[in-house]
């Protein structure tokens, strides 16, 4: 789990820069649909190891909202408008 979380965090500066530049997130290296599907496996693996997943579950919900909003082929940066924040 730690390796996956570390790898995900390493991409945050790139995503933040893309959002700051106004990128729409359509240039996906690994699209939201793939990530949403894989995220379920991450949560299941954590639970199987006895790790609480309540901190990660909102991330999964955010991925699912992005896919439901038609952003399945987009990058994580496309989620910014659906994150529920006010910018």
Q: What is the pLDDT along the chain (87 residues), one digit of tens a residue?
A: 677 667 667 766 776 676 666 655 555 667 899 999 999 999 999 999 999 999 999 999 999 999 999 989 888 878 876 555 444
Residue-wise pLDDT for 28-39, tens only, equals 667 899 999 999
The reported pTM is 0.64
Task: State the Cα–Cα distance between residues 71 and 11, nearest whole angstrom.
Answer: 19
Look at the domain 2-82 and name its fold.
Answer: 1.10.1040
């Amino acid at each position: 789990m730690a390796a996956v979380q570390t790898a995900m965090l390493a991409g945050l500066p790139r995503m933040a820069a893309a959002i700051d530049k106004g990128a729409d997130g359509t240039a996906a290296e690994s699209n939201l649909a793939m990530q949403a599907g894989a995220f379920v496996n991450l949560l299941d693996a954590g639970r199987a190891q006895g790790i609480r997943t309540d901190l990660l579950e909102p991330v999964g919900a955010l991925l699912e909202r992005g896919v439901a909003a038609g952003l399945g082929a987009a990058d994580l940066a496309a989620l910014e408008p659906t994150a529920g924040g006010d910018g």
